[in-house]
A = this chain, B = another copy of it.
């Protein structure tokens, strides 16, 4: 599906009620952040559980998926 945009103008996609993949620019590089969120005062805020992948790490994750899928 298509993406939404957070308060910082960053595109994100939900992968569960409280988990998002957010595309973020930081110091001229792009990161794919897979993270848990929690609700506070009616807003969803990023939690500690999560990891920011570089584009090359993300591409390696994508390449690993056929092998991962066989293990599921």
Chain A positions near chain B (C-beta within 8 angstroms): 1-3, 11, 13-16, 19, 21, 23, 30, 32, 34-36, 48-51, 53-58, 60-65, 67-68, 71-72
Contact = CB atoms under 8 A, between A and B. Distances in A.
Oligomer copy total: 2
A68 B34 contact: no
B13 A68 contact: yes
Given A60-B15, A65-B62, A55 B72 contact: yes
A3 B34 contact: no
9 contacts: A13-B67, A14-B60, A15-B60, A19-B53, A21-B61, A21-B64, A32-B68, A32-B72, A50-B50
Given A1-B64, A36-B51, A15 B57 contact: yes
